[in-house]
Amino acid sequence: MYRYLLFDADGTLFDFDSAETYAFDATCREFDIQPTEHALQAYKEANRQIWREFEIGTIDIDNLQVERFARFFVSQSIDRNPVDAGKRFTDHLASAGTLYPETIPLLDELRGRGYVLSLITNGISRVQRGRLKQSDTCGYFEVVCISEEIGAQKPRKEFFDTFFELARLSEDERRNCLVIGDSLTSDIQGGNDAGIDTCWYNPQGRMGDPEIIPTYEIGLLQELLTLLPPLR
């Protein structure tokens, strides 16, 4: 029976697309760049690629913040300073703690059912801490595990080992953990490698990967309530 729920943040509880669009628009306007849909999609593609590189350990978090804008600027032939743009984007993103509408009701219900909730996220500490504060969700989580703070990222086993230490979970208690996240390569692969069950949140109905198999798959966050009965 599960007791400890390890939630991913972006794309699972937090509406990252909305936050990213807001931060990109604000940054572009500061640097006199037209925040067109084409420009946004070009940035998102550069950002997706570089976060995948971060997951596999070929770039660190500091260089990631600069390099994603460097690549975006090159792709669009824009002459701006990627260091300054990366900093301002991070500032704007830290203030954008937009949650999905169902997030708070779900967290309230699960906590009421007796589950211990934690947050596990790849990300920049001041961004994630800022968004937690802005959304007033810090109090829901027993442990908040952020890759930059612990020096390891999902899906690496070191990330989950550090989480277990922070949560003070015994070997037996680890069997009662469930990872819930939207990324196969980060959340689900990481949970699988750590030997704990996983739930893939897949609202877009994306194709799976035969090499990364979740224990469960859901299309709506509320479906968790059918998997997780009251503990008390």
Residues known to be catalytic? 8, 10
Q: Give the 3-state secondary structure of residue 81.
A: coil
Q: Residue type for 13, please?
A: L
Handedness of CA 224, 226, 231, 232 (dihedral sign): positive
8 A C-beta contact, residue 7 and residue 191:
no
Tokens in use for 73?
Answer: 């600027």
Q: Long-range contacts of range 162-165, CB-CB < 8 Å, 24 or more positions apart?
A: 163/6, 163/118, 163/120
8 A C-beta contact, residue 8 and residue 182:
yes
Distance CA 217, CA 227 (A): 11
